[in-house]
């Protein structure tokens, strides 16, 4: 079992607010798949899955303010025979540009 924690995502942050979960208990996730969106006083960021696996537990609630180092999820990683480790770098979004269309990666490309 892997503990997915809120790590320091920069700007000297000490805590973050839990905004939105993108997964629920029992969901299968892929490496780098966004799990949760958090907000600090300076930015909004998505915390990605560090490994492929299954979400076994969600330990925080939406709207909660938590300190850096708090465990967010318990993840049961896929078998060690597969290469599942990824860099746990968050995706940053400046809070002043929250309306930027992040859905563009899911839209069909124009020809």
| Count: domains in the chain | 1
The pLDDT-based confidence of 78 (bands split at 50, 70, 90) is: confident
The pLDDT of residue 81 is above 50 = no
**pLDDT digit string (tens) for 35-50?**
999 998 888 999 999 9
Q: Decide if 111 is inside a domain.
A: no
**pLDDT digit string (tens) for 86-111?**
444 444 444 433 333 333 334 444 44
Helix (H) or strand (E) holding 48: strand 43-48
The pLDDT of residue 65 is above 50 = yes
Q: Decide if 35 is inside a domain.
A: yes
Could you tell me the CA-to-CA distances from 47 to 79, 87, 109 in Å, in that order? 22, 11, 26
CATH number at residue 7: 2.40.50.100
Write down the pLDDT at residue 13: 80
Radius of gyration for the alpha carbons in the chain, expressed in angstroms and rounded: 14
Q: Which of 49, 71, 43, 67 is nearest to 58 (CA)?
A: 71
Q: Which of 74, 78, 94, 98 is nearest to 86 (CA)?
A: 78
């Amino acid at each position: 079992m892997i503990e997915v924690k809120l790590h320091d995502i920069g700007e000297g942050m000490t805590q973050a607010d839990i905004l939105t979960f993108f997964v629920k208990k029992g969901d299968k996730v892929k490496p780098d798949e966004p799990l949760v969106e958090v907000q600090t006083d300076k930015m909004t960021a998505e915390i990605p899955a560090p490994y492929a696996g299954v979400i076994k537990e969600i330990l925080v609630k939406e709207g909660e303010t938590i300190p850096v180092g708090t465990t967010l999820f318990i993840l049961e990683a896929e078998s060690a025979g597969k290469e599942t480790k990824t860099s746990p770098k968050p995706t940053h979004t400046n809070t002043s540009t929250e309306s930027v269309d992040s859905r563009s990666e899911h839209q069909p490309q124009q020809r």
